Amino acid sequence: MRAVILAGGKGTRLRPYTTVLPKPLVPIGERPILELIIHQLGRAGFEQVDFLVGHLGELIRAYLVESGAVPAGMKMRFIFEEEPLGTAGALHQIEPPDQSFLVMNGDILTTLDYADFMRHHHEQGGALTIATFKKDVELALGVLKGPAGEPLAVTDYVEKPTLHYDVSMGIYAYSPTALQHVPEGHFDFPDLVLKLIAAGERVVRYPFDGEWFDIGTPAEHERADQAFNSDSARFNSQLATSV
């Protein structure tokens, strides 16, 4: 199996860490988050990983090549973006795939079983599969409800409601068909989802209820680091079986 890791962002929300380090090299426990990810992928049966890098990308390549952090037998390829092409447009730089492949952000700590995720993608037969996580959003305000067409009428009042959403985890399975809908130039993933739906392509989700952290902010990085240090085995020993 093949994976593509998007590791070209500047990580501005994670400053000051990312002033000197690219976000995928920010540590969780004693190792960079990217090293944890590629070892998880290796255990799940992935044999090749393409790294799409930009900001401080040479540091990413130097660390992975010189530290011996890459699992034995895993093939690596580093692709440098000369200019930002977006979270989908950058995929035009990879070698054209002849089968489905995984795409993910390089700053995710999760217990998701990547092999099962790819198996789900194959079974559902979609052009694109999105890993999703249930997220609660609490509003610290009272919400008014009223009938359609009567903007002044009030029929209900809900104090500080909690809204429930299925959010993207930043982990996707692409079929070669999905990549055919990505135009040249800058193009972002949300635009691809809408384009696929408009074209009648099948887009499916993979609901996940385990551990998931996107370390995009200092607060979220601290939560992820605490979770990992409290029980690293949850993240280091998935029971994934390759597909």
- Residue 29's pLDDT is 87
- Residue 243's pLDDT is 46
Question: Could you tell me which residues come within 8 angstroms of residue 209 by beta carbon, excluding any fewer than 6 positions away?
Answer: 133, 134
**CA–CA dist 196, 172 (Å, integer):** 14
Structure tokens at 191: 């635009």
How many whole angstroms from its chain centre is CA 211? 13
> Taking a C-beta distance cutoff of 8 angstroms, is the pair 108, 120 a contact?
no
- Residue 14's pLDDT is 52
- Residue 13's pLDDT is 53
- Residue 12's pLDDT is 55
- Nearest partner of 45 among 70, 74, 69, 24, judged by Cα: 74
DSSP 219-241: HHHHHHHHHHHH-THHHH-----
Omega of the bond leading into 16 within 30 degrees of 0 (cis): yes
Identify the bridge partners of residue 167 per DSSP, sorted by sequence position. Answer: 133
pTM of the shown model: 0.87
Identify the bridge partners of residue 130 per DSSP, sorted by sequence position. Answer: 172, 205
The DSSP symbol for 59 reads: H
Place of tokens 């099948």: 202
Question: Could you tell me which residues come within 8 angstroms of residue 7 by beta carbon, excluding any fewer than 6 positions away?
Answer: 22, 23, 24, 34, 51, 52, 53, 54, 57, 60, 106
Report domain extents, the chain.
Answer: 2-132+168-236
What's the CATH code, domain 2-132+168-236?
3.90.550.10
Per-residue pLDDT of the chain in tens (243 residues, 90 and over written 9): 999 999 876 655 555 555 567 888 888 988 899 999 999 999 999 999 999 988 777 888 888 888 777 888 899 999 998 888 899 999 989 988 899 999 999 999 999 999 999 999 999 999 999 999 999 999 999 999 999 888 889 999 999 999 999 999 999 999 999 999 999 999 999 999 999 999 999 999 999 999 999 888 888 888 999 999 998 888 875 544 444
How big is the chain by its Cα radius of gyration, in Å?
20
- Residue 237's pLDDT is 59
